[in-house]
Amino acid sequence: MTLGGAVNASGAQVNLYGGDMAINAAVNNPTGTVVLNNTSGGPVTMGLGASGFGLSNAELNNIHAATLTFNASPITIDGAVDLSSSEDIAA
């Protein structure tokens, strides 16, 4: 899934689905939840996002939510991750 334009919500749950993701624009839900759903069934990498369902630190920082949830397993950190844009993280 490639996100090229901003997604804005206010309190509702935002669900993003894909076998891999390119989050190239803002996902804004400051009072709600953003859920990233891995439909590939494979592993997830975060930081560099170099393999599998990969999410780079830059992509993760495009997400601004009260809660960020990952429906994915296992998750491997393959580089620096700074999730300061999200207040609560769940996996």
3-state secondary structure of 59: helix
- Each residue's pLDDT expressed in tens, for the chain with a length of 91 residues: 888 889 999 888 999 999 888 999 999 999 999 999 999 888 888 889 888 888 999 999 999 999 889 888 788 899 998 877 555 555 5
The pTM assigned to this predicted structure is: 0.84
Both structure tokens of 57: 């630190």
- What integer pLDDT is reported at residue 53 of this predicted model? 87
- What integer pLDDT is reported at residue 74 of this predicted model? 87
- What integer pLDDT is reported at residue 85 of this predicted model? 58
